[in-house]
C-alpha cells in the first residue's frame, strides 16, 4: 500500500524544473560561480569578494580606466560590467599576469620607470596589453586611443614603454 501511495504521489508530482547550467566566470584561470547580485559590478566582485585589489576604483562611471581588466582578451571597464555579463567569460586582472617571468609590458614599464603614484598603472598596463594584442607595432595615434587617465601625467613614459613592449614581444619575450 505504501509503495502504491508513493507511486501515485510520484505520478502527481510536478516535473522537476531544469535549472540552466551556470557557466563559471574564469578569473585568472580559476573558475568561480558567483551567487550574489547579478547586477554587482565586476569591480566590486574582484576587489571586495576575491580581494584582488590590484584593479582600482577611480570614477565608477567608465571615465578614468583605473578599473581596466581584460574580458576574453579585450580591455573593459570593470566598474561598468555587471556580473551577469561575465558568465562563461575569461577575466584577466593585473594579478593574472604573475608568472615565472614578468610580462613584457611589465618589463617595459620597469625599464621606462613609468609609474609615479601608481594608482592608474594596473589599468594602463591592461589597456596596453589589449592594444599590443591587436597592433604588434602600434603607432603614436594607436597609443593615443587608449582612453585611460593618469593624474600624474605619465603619458610620455607610457608611450615609450608600449613601444618598448612591442619590441620585447617581437623578440619573443611574451
Ligand atoms: S573606475 Fe572604472 S572607469 Fe573609472
Ligand atoms: S601614476 Fe599616478 S595616476 Fe597615474
User: pLDDT tens digit string along 6-17?
Assistant: 444 444 444 445
Higher pLDDT, 14 or 154: 154
pLDDT by residue (tens digit) across 63-84? 999 999 999 999 999 999 999 9
Cα–Cα distances in Å, from 1 out to 8, 10, 108? 11, 14, 78
Whole-structure pTM value: 0.88
Ligand nearest to the CA of 158: 2
At residue 61, the pLDDT reads: 98
Q: How far apart are CA 61 and CA 77, in angstroms?
A: 9
Mean pLDDT of 42-57: 98
Decide whether any atom of ligand 1 lies within 6 Å of the 82 Cβ: no
Mean pLDDT of all residues in 83-88: 96
What is the residue whose three cell numbers read 625599464? 111
Cα dihedral 37→42→44→48 (10° resolution): 100
Q: For 30-42, what is each residue's pLDDT tens digit?
A: 999 999 999 999 9
For ligand 2, say whether the CB of 119 is within 6 Å of any of its atoms: yes
Q: Output helix, strand, coil percentages for the chain, rounded to the nearest 5.
A: 40, 10, 50
Which structural domains are found in the chain, ordered by start?
25-96 (3.10.20.30), 99-170 (1.10.150.120)
Amino acid at each position: 500500500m505504501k509503495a502504491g501511495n508513493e507511486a501515485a504521489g510520484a505520478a502527481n508530482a510536478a516535473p522537476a524544473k531544469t535549472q540552466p547550467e551556470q557557466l563559471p566566470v574564469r578569473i585568472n584561470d580559476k573558475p568561480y560561480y558567483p551567487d550574489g547580485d547579478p547586477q554587482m559590478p565586476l569591480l566590486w566582485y574582484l576587489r571586495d569578494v576575491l580581494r584582488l585589489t590590484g584593479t582600482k576604483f577611480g570614477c565608477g562611471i567608465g571615465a578614468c580606466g583605473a578599473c581596466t581588466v581584460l574580458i576574453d582578451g579585450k580591455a573593459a571597464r570593470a566598474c561598468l560590467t555587471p556580473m551577469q555579463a561575465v558568465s562563461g567569460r575569461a577575466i584577466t586582472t593585473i594579478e593574472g599576469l604573475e608568472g615565472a617571468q614578468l610580462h613584457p609590458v611589465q618589463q617595459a614599464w620597469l625599464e621606462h620607470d613609468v609609474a609615479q603614484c601608481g594608482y592608474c598603472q594596473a589599468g594602463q598596463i591592461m589597456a596596453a596589453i589589449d592594444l599590443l594584442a591587436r597592433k604588434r607595432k602600434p603607432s603614436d595615434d594607436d597609443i593615443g586611443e587608449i582612453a585611460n587617465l593618469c593624474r600624474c601625467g605619465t603619458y610620455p613614459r607610457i608611450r615609450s614603454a608600449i613601444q618598448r613592449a612591442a619590441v620585447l614581444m617581437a623578440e619573443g619575450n611574451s
